Amino acid sequence: MRKPLKWVLRIVVALAVVYAVLTAGLYWAMRQPVDRFTRIMARVPGIAFAVLPFVPLWNSARGGDLQVGDAAPDFTLEKTDKSSKVQLASFRGQKPVVLVFGSYT
């Protein structure tokens, strides 16, 4: 009777170690720059999102430290017609800018 219990314990410990390593790997991936993060996440199987604690890791890794009233971090984006780039800082002090993050689809 002791032998099966030992095997069950070994399997549980091995699964816990694999889960911890996968969770740490996902957290590491979330801390990478956006372009690297997207390349990594494109290869993650869908079941990982159901098994691993994706949302808490995301909130911790990508939560940021901005507070209400802080200036938005500067960034540069290409215009939709690809004619040039626009930098957020170029509007500072000239007119209000509304940043909308989301999807219209």
Residue 79 CB contacts under 8 Å (≥ 6 apart), including other chains: 85, 86
Domain limits of the chain? 2-63+74-91
**What residues pair up with 29 in beta bridges, in sequence order?**
none
Q: What is the pTM of this model?
A: 0.60
- pLDDT, residue 34, reads 84
pLDDT of residue 1: 54
Q: Locate tokens 């507070």: which residue?
A: 67
What would you report as the CA-atom Rg of the chain, rounded to the nearest whole angstrom?
A: 22
CA dist 72 and 81 (Å) reads: 24
The pLDDT of residue 17 is: 97
pLDDT of residue 96: 86
User: Which stretches in the chain have pLDDT values below 50?
Assistant: none
Please tell me the predicted confidence (pLDDT) of residue 105: 63
